[in-house]
Structures are given as C-alpha cells and as structure tokens.
C-alpha cells in the first residue's frame, strides 16, 4: 500500500509502520499513519470512487492494511448525510442543515469505523487478545469485530455504562469487567495489566489505527456534500466529479476522546495533498457537556493541553471523558479552522433528542443531540450565519441509552 511510516503527533519522531505500536516511544503521545500521498493520488483518482462499494474500505489506498485477507468488516461506513430541513425551520435564521447519521453503522455507532481498521491491523500483526477501556459504544464495537476476527476481547467499563452496551459485549463473547469509576480509571487497569496478560491495547488514540477508520467520515462528507455529478463525455458511460470536492462551512462534532474530529481534520489535509479539495476548511466545533468539558475550558483559556476535568458526570456517556490523550490535536484543529468549543447542559441535550426525533425521525444518541442546542447558541452569538452549510454529527443510536429517557 502507500504507508511510509508512523509519526508522533507531538514530537514528530518517526516510527516503523511494520511494527505493532501503541504510543510514541519518545514522548508517549499518539502516533499517526503517514502515506506517500503523491503516489496514492496517481493510483487513486477521486472519480474512481463512483464505482466502488459503499463502505469505508472504498478508501483502501489511504488506509494502512496491506493484505485484504485480514480485513475485518461488517460493511461499516458510507452512512447517510440527511438534509434536516424541518429541523432547520425551527432555527432563527435560514441555514442548510444536514445530519450525518453514524447510528446507521454496524453496532449502531461511529465506533465501528475505528474498530474495523484497528482489529484488521491487529489481525495483520498476528494479535490474539485485545483490550479496551470504554464508556460504552467502543466496547460494543470492539467485542463484535474481535469476535469476527477470532480474537479474545477484554473490556473494562464504568459500572454505570448504559445496560445495552454491557449486554452487547457479553453476548458477543467478550470478557467484561465493570469498574466503580470513570473511563480513565478503566484505562489505568488496561495499562497496568496489558503486558502480563498479552493484550494489545486499542484505547482511543493509544494505537495508530482507530483514527484511520474515523477519518473516513471526512472523505465521505466531501463526496456527499459535493452533490451533483456530471458526465465526462457525450456517451455518458463514465461519471466524474465536477472539479474539487466540496466541504460544509461548519461541522459540529460531539467530543469525548475526539478521535472522529481529529480523523476528519487529518482526512482534509490528505485530500488537499492529493488534489481532491482546495485549502478552504470547515470551521470545526467541539461540543461537550457542561459537566464534563475539558476541551471547552482549555480552548477558551488558550491552552495547548486540556487539564483533567474533575468530578466528570453526564448522561451522555460518550462525552464523559475527563482527560483525552489527543487533547492537543483537537485544540489544534479548532484553532486552525477558526472554529470553537461549546458546552451544553444535560437537560438541553436530552430535550434535543426528542426535538430531532420529532422533526426528522432520527433517534439520536444524547451525544449527537447535544449539537442542536450548541447550534442554537452559535447562531445567537453570530458564529453561524445565514445560508451557511452546517453538518451535525450524530455519533450513535439512541436505543443504546434507554436509561437516559426514564
């Protein structure tokens, strides 16, 4: 394939892509996969996408897997970008509003993307046992993909994780341990035991491959926003995109560990280097809960890293990440895009689930629904303007969170 090396996102130290890796050996920050994008562009024209299967593996030239026999997949990716015109009509200004519905992925969340690539790479490297700390949806995805790959799955979750996630993991063969604490406490257990137990740690951004699956949301968004196609010649036997692919003006993304936002930002850079898009970027918005908002706090304080958020609580379990290892990457993307970070109250995001459902028929996860009250606040402070194209990411299905609505 087109992989050249792994690179530390912080100190830029290069690492061997042919060796199973977790964090940078120099500074213990996340590693990112780097590609020969000039070479990739020669063999991977964007117009070729028009005849490819509708899954994230349509982007195989800029994914790290070498042998397709190691691909572990349920057909994840290529989720719909839905025009939310009825919801937009409830807003005080006219905008073109879209919802990217990641709840339609296998295992009903965007986590399926990252686990497909991470488990595939683990299979390629001969890994037999995986471990992950999770607030819920990542655990369900890891359990499913590990089962499909024939690997052991060892999962550590807070005891108050939504019941649906726990049952999902148990019924797909995982070894599940519930912890009286937060996801950070679960992560400490995995870190302490992984060497002795022979586990490969697939924690968020503590290995290089989950972000590669998540970045495909950015590639898909460019294809889907671009919209109209044109015929290449009069015989009409070959379609092509009309010029550069397009991106929205604003992207609102619910942020816990932040891998999806980081991945999309990486995708936009890769697409520009391959000549698929120009230099213009969407303004990226990180949405968090007021009771767990480390990124919001750090962004507005002008800090490079986000301090751990003490006593973190929120009904949106995916947002309950008091300390994200990729915090500096999230903050860089927000600032480079002239974006922002905003927090909403739990009662606002729960109410928004019903608003979105009644208007558009989408049963959002509380995390995704948090983007609606955030959008209203952004409109009120003139961050989002008339006639802009705005995309809300719904990262999962509300059926996983039934306790939140009792």
Cα separations in angstroms, 220 against 55, 225, 236, 354: 10, 8, 24, 27
Q: Check residue 246 and give left, alpha or beta (phi > 0: left; psi -120 to 50: alpha).
A: beta
The interaxial angle of helices 259-273 and 327-336, nearest 10 deg, is 50
Asked whether residue 258 carries a pLDDT value surpassing 70, the answer given is: yes
**Average pLDDT over every residue of 363-390:** 98
pTM attached to this predicted model: 0.94
Residue 312, C-beta contacts closer than 8 angstroms, at least 6 positions apart: 182, 291, 292, 320, 321, 322
DSSP one-letter string for 115-162: HHHHHHHHHHTT--EEEEE-SSHHHHHHHHHHHHHT-EEEEEEETTS-
What is the dihedral sign for C-alpha 217, 220, 222, 225?
A: negative
- How high is the pLDDT of residue 239? 61
Kindly report, residue by residue over 291-326, the tens digit of the pLDDT. 999 999 999 999 999 999 999 999 999 999 999 999
- How high is the pLDDT of residue 382? 97
Beta-bridge mates of residue 239: 231
Asked whether residue 235 carries a pLDDT value surpassing 70, the answer given is: no
What are the φ/ψ torsions at residue 39 (nearest 5 degrees)? -65, -45
- How high is the pLDDT of residue 232? 38
Percentage of the chain with pLDDT > 70?
A: 97
Asked whether residue 241 carries a pLDDT value surpassing 50, the answer given is: yes
Torsion on CA atoms 103, 107, 113, 116, rounded to nearest 10: -170
Q: Of 352, 356, 358, 354, nearest to 370 (Cα)?
A: 352
**Average pLDDT over every residue of 150-167:** 95
Poorest-pLDDT segment among 28-37, 156-165, 219-228, 366-375: 219-228
Q: How far is residue 298 CA from its own chain's centroid? A: 21
Integer-rounded Cα Rg, in Å, for the chain is 20
Residue 380 to residue 79: CA distance in whole angstroms: 30
Average pLDDT score, the chain: 94
Torsion on CA atoms 117, 122, 125, 131, rounded to nearest 10: 160
What are the φ/ψ torsions at residue 159 (nearest 5 degrees)? -60, -25
- How high is the pLDDT of residue 375? 98
The interaxial angle of helices 111-124 and 210-226, nearest 10 deg, is 130
Asked whether residue 195 carries a pLDDT value surpassing 70, the answer given is: yes
Cα first-last separation, the chain = 49
Topology adopted by domain 81-107+213-405: Rossmann fold (3.40.50)
**Average pLDDT over every residue of 335-359:** 98
Kindly report, residue by residue over 3-54, the tens digit of the pLDDT. 999 999 999 999 999 999 999 999 999 999 999 999 999 999 998 888 899 9
1 pLDDT band, cuts 50/70/90, is confident
Percentage of the chain with pLDDT > 90?
A: 90
Residue 319 to residue 322: CA distance in whole angstroms: 8
- How high is the pLDDT of residue 277? 96
- How high is the pLDDT of residue 395? 97
Asked whether residue 100 carries a pLDDT value surpassing 80, the answer given is: yes
CB < 8 Å & 24+ apart, contacts of 173-182: 173/143, 173/146, 173/147, 174/139, 174/142, 174/143, 174/146, 174/147, 176/139, 182/158, 182/312, 182/320, 182/322
Cα separations in angstroms, 380 against 128, 187, 267: 52, 38, 30
Domain residue spans in the chain?
A: 81-107+213-405
Per the document, the length of the chain is 406
Asked whether residue 234 carries a pLDDT value surpassing 60, the answer given is: no
Q: Check residue 256 and give left, alpha or beta (phi > 0: left; psi -120 to 50: alpha).
A: alpha
- How high is the pLDDT of residue 238? 56
């Amino acid at each position: 394939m087109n992989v050249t090396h792994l690179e530390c996102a912080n100190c830029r130290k290069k690492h061997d892509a042919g060796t199973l890796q977790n964090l940078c050996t120099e500074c213990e920050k996340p590693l990112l996969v780097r590609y020969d994008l000039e070479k990739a562009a020669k063999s991977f024209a964007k117009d070729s996408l028009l005849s490819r299967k509708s899954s994230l593996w349509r982007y195989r030239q800029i994914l790290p897997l070498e042998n397709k026999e190691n691909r572990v997949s349920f057909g994840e990716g290529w989720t719909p970008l839905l025009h939310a015109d009825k919801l937009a009509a409830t807003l005080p200004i006219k905008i073109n509003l879209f919802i990217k519905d990641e709840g339609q992925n296998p295992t009903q969340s965007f986590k399926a993307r990252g686990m497909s690539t991470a488990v595939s790479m683990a299979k390629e490297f001969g890994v037999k046992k995986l471990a992950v700390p999770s607030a819920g949806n990542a655990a369900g995805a890891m359990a499913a993909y590990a089962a499909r790959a024939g690997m052991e799955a060892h999962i550590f979750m807070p005891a108050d994780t939504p019941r649906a996630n726990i049952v999902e993991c148990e019924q797909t063969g995982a070894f599940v341990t519930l912890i009286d604490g937060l996801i950070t406490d679960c992560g400490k257990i995995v870190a302490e035991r992984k060497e002795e137990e022979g586990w490969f740690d697939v924690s968020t951004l503590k290995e290089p491959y989950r972000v590669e699956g998540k970045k495909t949301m950015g590639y898909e968004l460019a294809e889907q926003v671009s919209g109209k196609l044109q015929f290449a010649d009069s015989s009409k036997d070959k379609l092509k995109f009309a010029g550069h692919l397009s991106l929205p003006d604003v992207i609102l993304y619910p942020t816990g560990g932040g891998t999806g936002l980081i991945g999309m930002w990486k995708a936009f850079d890769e697409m520009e280097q391959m000549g698929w898009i120009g230099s213009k970027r969407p303004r990226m918005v990180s949405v968090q809960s007021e009771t767990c908002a480390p990124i919001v706090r750090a962004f507005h304080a002008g800090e490079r890293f986000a301090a751990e958020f003490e006593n973190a609580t929120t009904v949106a379990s995916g947002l309950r990440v008091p300390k994200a290892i990729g915090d500096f990457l999230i903050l860089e993307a927000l600032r480079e895009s002239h974006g922002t970070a905003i927090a909403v109250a739990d009662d606002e995001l729960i109410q928004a689930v019903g608003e979105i459902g009644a208007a558009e028929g989408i049963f959002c996860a509380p995390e995704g629904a948090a983007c609606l009250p955030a959008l209203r606040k952004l409109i009120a402070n003139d961050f989002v303007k008339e006639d802009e194209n705005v995309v809300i990411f719904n990262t999962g299905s509300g059926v996983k969170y039934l306790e939140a609505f009792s």
